[in-house]
Amino acid sequence: MSFPADVIADQAGVFTVAEGAAAAYYNTATEAIYILEEAMNPTLQAAGVGASSKVVWVQASDVASPIKGDTFTISGATWYLARILSAHTGINYQLELTRQTRRQL
């Protein structure tokens, strides 16, 4: 098995509710995906991420080509993709989400 295939297989076990993942709905999807939310410690979070923002990890198999303004519904609240912090093609993405409206992005 290749290294990327190993990583994808390993992360499948991490993106579960049992491991602390949260259910979310991406754009207009009706089936939940699972995301990992980073702790919002201001000394550790990405530069420029404020209180009305959060950093999450998603699997590339759930969110193939994220773009600014995409929506995530998490616990009934709508969050918008502000920027891609890191991309591991075919594996996962680290995303900054914001509560600001799409128009303000």
What's the CATH number where 9 sits? 2.40.10.210
> Whole-number mean pLDDT of the chain?
79
Element (H, E) at 45: none
Pairing assessment for the beta strands 77-88 and 33-37 based on DSSP bridges: unpaired
Of the ranges 10-14, 16-20, 70-74, 87-91, which is most confident?
70-74
- pLDDT higher at 3 or 103: 103
pLDDT digits 0-9 by tens, 62-79: 998 999 999 999 989 999
Number of structural domains found in the chain? 1
Amino acid identity, position 32: A
Q: pLDDT value at position 81?
A: 95
Token look-up 């193939």 returns 64
| Contact yes or no for 55/36 (Cβ under 8 A) | no
Q: Which residue range forms the structural domain that includes residue 35?
A: 3-104
